[in-house]
């Protein structure tokens, strides 16, 4: 009986402890929640960066009739005169023409050599030297259009010259009459600009151009002995060699101008280079004094055709004058030198030829 009161007390004590624990574990949720004010601004974590407005701010709002932002207008239209890019001292935009007249003395370093066979004779090695070529005029005509705002210009030009020469050369049997000819045609289609590298040299104005060049170069030589002397000796009275090259390739030129103390007067220079990939056709011919079965004189002919790369360079230095009364015109004069490599080189034989010319160049420029 004594244990019953103790058991009752223990149960009562455990019940008192369990009630608060259950009450703490089942605490009701708060009846009110923290409300965020409508339209409150969010925290800007990058205040230094531009933040365009939301358009629209909410999917439930109608889009505004006026755009929230727009692009700034361009500073100005293209292809308009700009006082910084088109200063009065430089040629102005528009159509222009240039005319060059060179008085040059060409020279062909002729080493064309090959073998020619005539029926009934052993093969002959043919080589005819070049006679001294006469001085000639080499005009160059250029036309183009210059864009404003420093956008450069486009130009098309054509240069040509032809000359010949005569002399005498010692043949196998007697003195032979020598006759040589030369013809050169060059077409250029270029884009030119003063925009780049213009401030590298503060005292020199630079203009560069690059484009495409097509060229055709022809030269030949012919030697004729007296018929009687050839009939009594080697039996060959006429020999001819000819070379023709045509090719296309990249072309580049740099013009420099340094203004002198006297107004309108300047020191000018240019370097023009090209490398042309094309084809060389060579012809070697000889004719004997012996008639054939048909009554015609026996002759032999050898033809060669190979691909070849021909580099060329042209340099000019002189003085130019721009009259103050006519700033759209400019004239210049100076010395010019030009060289063509491999213009008669046959890589499959020992045949070789190169071309050079030099002389005085007069140049006239006119802007419309």
Provide the pLDDT for residue 324.
85
Helices marked H in the chain = 3-25, 227-231
Provide the pLDDT for residue 6.
60
pTM of the model: 0.76
Q: Residue 46 domain-assigned?
A: no
Per-residue pLDDT of the chain (368 residues; tens, 9 = 90+): 555 556 555 555 555 544 544 444 455 555 544 454 554 455 666 777 766 666 556 666 666 666 665 666 666 566 677 776 667 667 778 899 999 999 999 999 999 999 999 987 889 999 999 999 999 999 999 999 998 877 889 999 999 999 999 999 999 899 999 999 999 999 999 999 876 544 556 678 888 999 999 999 999 999 999 999 999 999 999 999 999 999 999 999 999 999 898 988 999 999 999 999 999 999 999 999 999 888 899 999 999 999 999 999 999 999 999 998 888 899 999 999 999 999 999 999 999 999 999 999 999 988 87
Q: Residue 80 domain-assigned?
A: no
- Contact call for residues 276 and 262 (beta carbons, < 8 A): no
Provide the pLDDT for residue 67.
63
Distances (CA, A) of 257 to 45, 145, 265, 268, 270: 57, 21, 10, 5, 9
Provide the pLDDT for residue 21.
45
Q: Is 236 helix (H, G, I), strand (E, B) or coil?
A: strand
Q: Residue 64 domain-assigned?
A: no
CA distance 270 to 103: 17
CA distance 145 to 88: 17
What is the b/e burial string over 89-101, where b = at least 16 CB atoms within 10 angstroms of the residue's CB?
eebebeebebebe
Provide the pLDDT for residue 24.
45
Q: Residue 66 domain-assigned?
A: no
CATH number of the domain where residue 167 is located = 2.40.128
CA distance 366 to 331: 9
**Strands (DSSP E) found in the chain:** 94-111, 114-116, 124-126, 136-146, 153-170, 175-193, 205-224, 236-259, 265-291, 297-321, 329-340, 352-367
Q: Residue 13 domain-assigned?
A: no
CB atoms within 10 A of CB 194: 18
CA distance 299 to 182: 25
353 lies in which domain range? 98-367
What's the total number of domains in the chain? 1
Tokens encoding 25: 């574990």
Provide the pLDDT for residue 360.
97
CA distance 156 to 213: 10
Q: Residue 60 domain-assigned?
A: no
**What pLDDT digit, counting tens, does each position of 45-59 carry?**
677 776 666 655 666
Q: Residue 25 domain-assigned?
A: no
Strand 153-170 to 329-340 pairing: unpaired
Q: Residue 53 domain-assigned?
A: no
Please report the sign of the dihedral spanned by the C-alpha atoms of residue 32, residue 34, residue 40, residue 42.
negative
Provide the pLDDT for residue 54.
60
Provide the pLDDT for residue 16.
54
Tell the burial category of 138 from Cβ atoms under 10 Å away from its Cβ (0-12, 13-18, 19+). buried
């Amino acid at each position: 009986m004594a244990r019953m009161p103790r058991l009752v007390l223990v149960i009562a004590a455990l019940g008192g402890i369990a009630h608060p624990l259950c009450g703490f574990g089942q605490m009701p949720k708060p009846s009110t929640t923290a409300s965020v004010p409508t339209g409150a601004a969010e925290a800007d974590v990058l205040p230094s960066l531009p933040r365009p407005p939301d358009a629209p701010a909410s999917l439930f709002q109608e889009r505004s009739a006026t755009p929230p932002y727009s692009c700034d207008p361009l500073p100005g239209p293209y292809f308009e005169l700009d006082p910084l890019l088109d200063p009065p001292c430089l040629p102005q935009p528009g159509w222009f023409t240039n005319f060059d007249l060179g008085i040059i003395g060409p020279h062909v370093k002729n080493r064309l050599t090959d073998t020619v066979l005539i029926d009934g004779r052993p093969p002959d090695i043919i080589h005819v030297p070049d006679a001294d070529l006469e001085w000639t005029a080499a005009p160059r005509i250029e036309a183009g259009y210059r864009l404003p705002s420093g956008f450069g210009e486009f130009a098309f030009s054509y240069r040509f010259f032809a000359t010949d020469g005569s002399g005498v050369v010692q043949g196998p049997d007697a003195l032979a009459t020598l006759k040589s000819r030369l013809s050169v045609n060059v077409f250029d289609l270029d884009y030119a600009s003063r925009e780049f590298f213009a401030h590298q040299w503060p005292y020199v104005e630079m203009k560069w151009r690059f484009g495409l060049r097509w060229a055709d170069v022809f030269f030949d030589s012919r030697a004729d002995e007296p018929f009687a002397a050839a009939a009594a000796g080697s039996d060959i009275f006429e020999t001819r060699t000819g070379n023709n090259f045509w090719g296309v390739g990249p072309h580049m030129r740099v013009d420099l101008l340094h203004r002198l103390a006297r107004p309108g007067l300047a020191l000018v220079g240019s370097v023009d280079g090209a490398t042309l990939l094309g084809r060389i056709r060579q012809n070697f011919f000889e004719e004997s004094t012996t008639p054939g079965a048909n009554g015609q004189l026996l002759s032999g002919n050898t033809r060669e055709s190979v691909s070849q790369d021909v580099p060329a360079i042209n340099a000019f230095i002189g003085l130019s004058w721009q009259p103050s009364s006519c700033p759209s015109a400019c004239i210049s004069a100076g010395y010019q030198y030009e060289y063509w490599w491999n213009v008669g080189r046959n890589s499959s034989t020992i045949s070789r030829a190169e071309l050079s010319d030099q002389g005085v160049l007069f140049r006239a420029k006119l802007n419309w």
